[in-house]
Amino acid sequence: MAEEAARRVLIVDPDTVSRREIRFACEQDGYHVIEADGSADALRQVEDSRPSLVLLEVTLPDGAGFDVCRELRKLDAAVPVIMMSARSDEIDAVVALEIGADDYVTKPLRLRELVARMTAHLRRARLETAEASRSRLEFRDLVIDVNERRVYKSGREVQLTHTEFDLLSFLAGNAGKVLSREKILNSIWGYEYPIETRVIDVHIRNLRRKIETQPSHPYYILAVPGIGYRFTNSRAI
């Protein structure tokens, strides 16, 4: 039962054919699948079934997938969420990531790629649970508790999504080093991802809003033009 729970995927999509195709691909790879065809059913399934990952269509008959993602984040800040849409506009991907999605894929789906992305997200979550280091990273008024996966700013806890925490702890764990976007992608997402989606930049912007005193003039997460990012190496005294 524990193994099943660790591979329980919720597919939220009003398109019966699409759900069937995704379900078949997931089950072929050993995933246990539950389904929802709308917003209300999706949120009920999240509370009742506690999926380990959610595949969420942007367009739903009883509301927007973006709204579901926002509500889902209130219920569970950590569960990986991959949003799906037939719309390929970059703005949709940016909005999805800004409201807390971990990933964004466009339809028609490349099912092998989708399953690979799911596997990468879940593998990362399992490794973090099994190999959590008993350490704290401290920088001025920011504390990152790696073991408990908690972040504190000026003594107050900051709520981060699963991917936001992974990104922050990776940057902070390499404080002072210049990290390329490719390095960050491979380390955090674990698979090839099209750079033009700006997935890293959007997550960085979200992190700055949450941990920086002045997000437009960041102290912790610094951009290195043409390369990537660098986290401050000024540790707390």
**pLDDT for the residue numbered 189:** 79
**pLDDT for the residue numbered 192:** 58
For residues 110 and 139, state if they share a domain: no
Q: CA-CA distance, 47 to 213, in Å (whole number)? A: 34
Q: How many domains does the chain have?
A: 2
Find the CATH number of the domain harbouring 182: 1.10.10.10
For residues 154 and 110, state if they share a domain: no
Task: For residue 195, tell me if it sits in a domain.
Answer: yes
- Do 11 and 28 form a contact (C-beta atoms < 8 A)? no
For residues 113 and 36, state if they share a domain: yes
| Cα-to-chain-centroid distance, residue 148 | 18
For residues 86 and 201, state if they share a domain: no
**pLDDT for the residue numbered 194:** 54
**pLDDT for the residue numbered 125:** 65
Q: Of 129, 147, 166, which one is at a domain's C-terminal end?
A: 129
Residues ≥6 apart with Cβ < 8 Å to 112: 25
Peptide bond into 61 cis (omega under 30): no
**pLDDT for the residue numbered 186:** 83
Residue-number span of the structural domain to which 86 is assigned: 2-129
Whole-model pTM?
Answer: 0.74
Q: What is the pLDDT along the chain (237 residues), one digit of tens a residue?
A: 555 566 899 999 999 999 999 999 999 999 999 999 999 999 999 999 999 999 999 999 988 999 999 999 988 888 999 999 988 778 888 889 889 899 999 999 999 999 998 988 888 766 554 444 458 899 999 999 988 889 999 999 999 988 899 999 999 999 999 999 888 988 887 765 554 457 888 999 999 999 999 999 999 999 999 999 999 987 654
For residues 172 and 58, state if they share a domain: no
For residues 219 and 146, state if they share a domain: yes
CA angle 123, 69, 223 (to 5 degrees): 70
**pLDDT for the residue numbered 92:** 87
**pLDDT for the residue numbered 132:** 46
For residues 8 and 107, state if they share a domain: yes
For residues 116 and 159, state if they share a domain: no
* 96-101 long-range Cβ contacts below 8 angstroms, 24+ apart: 96/58, 96/66, 96/69, 97/199, 97/202, 97/203, 97/206, 98/202, 98/205, 98/206, 99/66, 99/69, 99/70, 99/73, 100/69, 100/70, 100/72, 100/73, 100/161, 101/56, 101/69
For residues 64 and 120, state if they share a domain: yes
For residues 175 and 212, state if they share a domain: yes
Task: For residue 236, tell me if it sits in a domain.
Answer: no
Name the H helices within 57-110.
65-75, 90-98
Q: Of 104, 129, 154, which one is at a domain's C-terminal end?
A: 129
Find the CATH number of the domain harbouring 120: 3.40.50.2300
Output the CA–CA distances (angstroms, integers) from residue 80 to 72, 189, 224, in the order listed.
10, 11, 28
